[in-house]
């Protein structure tokens, strides 16, 4: 294990290691002043994927570890390609767990996704409705039309609190000026519209973006700093309508190689092609979900899985995990069923030879 590794893939959490990184290179130093904002603990999405942690975590190969750590040092996004089920998305959860970085912000990309979805949303209609309601309640007197003034009792109308209608998306939340970096998973970027990778470039390069709705009101009294909702469902302050990061987030972008990315995006990322888990890594994954010793106990199924893969065709790790679960809970009592279950579940995803 190289001394310089911050992420080691051992499953041994050490929240202080990330703080021992050297200062960022000058071209990746964003350094916004810290804001008062709480980062939630890891949620069930992480525990579901990573399993029980009764054994050391799935150790990626040493080349993978070097690339992941290079991205952490350089404050660059990681672009992870690989077959379905090779562990690309779970790597983001591994990173957050081992480095103690709290809840993973997840942006599942689909063909309709736009940059704005990742940054923030503004519920203009909700705000208008609240403003109209407030006017009705005022009986038409003293209402402020939702422009940030005061209600009849001297308190602000809900509609005047524009921050209640602004919600940062996963990318927007990851760029808040937290002391420690957040982990952001931009999942399946290759499913996006052709423009999204290019649109992402600028934000990932500059580490900031603006919310025009807040910029417009920033010179009004009391509206310079507005509390907006975050992707975590909490509130965080945004000043002058600009969100700028302090520590660049740990960005993990995944792709099933359904299409190529533009060279300018590739240039700004560290690219890791994650091989399908085998041997030690596969053993660690099985034991993370089924406990120490389970790899040896179900070695028959593991052999079958590895052998069928050698025949060609894509076989994700989930198939093996599903087969073990079923054998453990049902077919284990009916040994004759084991082979049938394995055959049913461990089929190639593509049309490769079987
Ligand atoms: N480090 C790990 N520890 C425990 N289980 C893991 C680990 N990495 C992956 N797995 C398990 O392997 C399975 C596949 O992982 P994952 O969903 O991350 O693959 P993927 O490459 O993102 O697949 P896809 O391309 O289909 O999205 C999951 O069921 C996950 O729980
Ligand atoms: Mg995935």
- Average model confidence (pLDDT) for the chain? 86
All residues at 6 or more sequence positions from 116 whose CB lies less than 8 Å from its CB, including other chains:
none
**Total residue length of the chain:** 354
Please state, in angstroms and rounded to a whole number, the distance separating the CA atoms of residues 92 and 318: 17
Among 26-30, 59-63, 108-112, 243-247, which is the least confidently predicted range?
59-63
Going along the chain from its start, the domains and CATH numbers come out as: 17-119+165-273 (3.40.50.300), 121-163 (no CATH), 298-345 (no CATH)
Ligand number, closest to the Cα atom of 93: 1
Q: What angle do CA 97, 99, 102 make, to 5 degrees?
A: 55
Residue nearest to atom 31 of ligand 1 (CA): 49
Q: Summarize the confidence of residues 33-40 as an average pLDDT.
A: 91
Ligand 1 pocket check for 315: Cβ under 6 Å: no
How much is the pLDDT for 330? 77
**Look-up: residue for tokens 């709290």?**
102
Residue 13 alpha carbon to ligand 2 centre in Å: 23
For a ligand 1 pocket test, name from 85, 189, 191, 319 the mutation site with the most ligand atoms within 8 angstroms of its C-beta: 85
CB atoms under 10 Å from CB of 191, counted, come to 17
Residue 38 vs residues 69, 103, 240, 280: alpha-carbon distances, Å: 26, 11, 20, 37
In the chain, what is the straight-line distance between the N-terminal and C-terminal CA atoms, in Å? 38
Among 9-23, 48-62, 75-89, 245-259, which is the least confidently predicted range?
48-62
Q: Highest mean pLDDT range out of 167-171, 195-199, 317-321?
A: 167-171
Q: What angle do CA 201, 204, 206 make, to 5 degrees?
A: 100
Please state, in angstroms and rounded to a whole number, the distance separating the CA atoms of residues 127 and 108: 27
Ligand 1 pocket check for 96: Cβ under 6 Å: no
Ligand 1 pocket check for 288: Cβ under 6 Å: yes
Ligand 1 pocket check for 94: Cβ under 6 Å: yes
Helix (H) or strand (E) holding 130: helix 124-137
Of ligand 1's atoms, which has the minimum distance to the CA of residue 90? 18
How much is the pLDDT for 140? 58
Q: Summarize the confidence of residues 3-7 as an average pLDDT.
A: 91
Please state, in angstroms and rounded to a whole number, the distance separating the CA atoms of residues 317 and 237: 42
- Is 194 exposed, middle or buried, given 0-12, 13-18 or 19+ CB atoms closer than 10 A? exposed
Ligand 1 pocket check for 50: Cβ under 6 Å: yes
Q: Could you please report the per-residue DSSP string of 145-161?
A: TTSS-B-TTSSBPGGG-
Residue 323 alpha carbon to ligand 2 centre in Å: 19
Helix (H) or strand (E) holding 329: helix 317-329
Residue 91 alpha carbon to ligand 1 centre in Å: 8
Q: Please say whether the beta carbons of 127 and 165 come within 8 A.
A: yes
Residue 49 alpha carbon to ligand 1 centre in Å: 7
Please state, in angstroms and rounded to a whole number, the distance separating the CA atoms of residues 226 and 161: 8
How much is the pLDDT for 57? 59
- The pTM score is 0.89
Both structure tokens of 282: 């596969």
All residues at 6 or more sequence positions from 338 whose CB lies less than 8 Å from its CB, including other chains:
300, 301, 327, 331, 332
Ligand 1 pocket check for 149: Cβ under 6 Å: no
Ligand 1 pocket check for 322: Cβ under 6 Å: no
Ligand number, closest to the Cα atom of 91: 1
CA atoms within 13 A on the CB side of 218: 14
Does the pLDDT at position 174 exceed 80? yes
Ligand 1 pocket check for 277: Cβ under 6 Å: no
Instruction: For residue 239, give the 3-state DSSP assignment.
Output: strand
Q: What percent of the chain has pLDDT over 90?
A: 49
For a ligand 1 pocket test, name from 10, 285, 325 the mutation site with the most ligand atoms within 8 angstroms of its C-beta: 285
Q: Please say whether the beta carbons of 324 and 293 come within 8 A.
A: no
Q: What angle do CA 143, 144, 145 make, to 5 degrees?
A: 100
Q: Summarize the confidence of residues 236-258 as an average pLDDT.
A: 94
Residue nearest to atom 8 of ligand 1 (CA): 87
In this structure, the strands spanning 105-108 and 78-81 are unpaired
How much is the pLDDT for 90? 93
Ligand 1 pocket check for 75: Cβ under 6 Å: no
Ligand 1 pocket check for 332: Cβ under 6 Å: no
Ligand 1 pocket check for 104: Cβ under 6 Å: no
């Amino acid at each position: 294990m190289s001394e310089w590794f911050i992420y080691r893939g051992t499953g041994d959490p050490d929240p202080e290691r990330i703080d021992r990184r050297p200062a960022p290179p000058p071209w990746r130093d964003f350094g916004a002043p810290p804001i008062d904002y709480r980062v939630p603990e890891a949620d069930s999405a992480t525990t579901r994927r990573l399993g029980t942690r009764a054994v050391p975590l799935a150790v990626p190969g040493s080349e993978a570890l070097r690339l992941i750590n290079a991205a952490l040092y350089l404050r660059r996004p990681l672009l992870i390609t690989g077959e379905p089920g090779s562990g690309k998305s779970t790597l983001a959860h591994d990173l957050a767990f081992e480095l103690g970085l709290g809840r993973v912000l997840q942006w599942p990309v689909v063909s309709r996704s736009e940059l704005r979805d990742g940054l923030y949303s503004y519920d203009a209609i909700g705000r208008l409705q609240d403003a109209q309601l407030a006017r009705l309640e005022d009986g038409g007197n003293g209402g402020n039309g939702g422009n940030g003034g005061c209600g009849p009792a001297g308190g602000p109308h809900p509609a005047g609190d524009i921050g209640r209608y602004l919600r940062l998306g996963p990318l927007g939340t990851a760029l808040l000026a937290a002391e420690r970096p957040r982990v952001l998973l931009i999942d399946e970027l290759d499913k996006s519209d052709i423009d999204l990778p290019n649109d992402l470039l600028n934000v990932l390069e500059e580490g900031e973006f603006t919310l025009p709705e807040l910029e417009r009101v920033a010179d009004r009294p009391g509206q310079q700093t507005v509390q907006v909702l975050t992707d975590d469902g909490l509130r965080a302050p945004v000043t002058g309508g600009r969100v700028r990061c302090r520590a660049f987030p740990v960005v993990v972008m995944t792709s099933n190689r359904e299409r190529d990315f533009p060279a300018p995006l590739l240039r700004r990322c560290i690219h890791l092609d994650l091989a399908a888990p085998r041997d030690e890594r596969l053993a660690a994954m099985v034991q993370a979900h089924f406990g120490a010793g389970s790899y040896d106990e179900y070695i028959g199924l593991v052999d079958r899985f590895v052998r069928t893969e050698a025949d060609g065709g894509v076989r994700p790790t989930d198939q093996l995990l599903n087969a073990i679960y079923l054998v453990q809970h049902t077919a284990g009592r009916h040994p004759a069923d084991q082979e049938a279950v394995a055959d049913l579940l461990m089929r190639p995803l593509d049309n490769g030879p079987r």
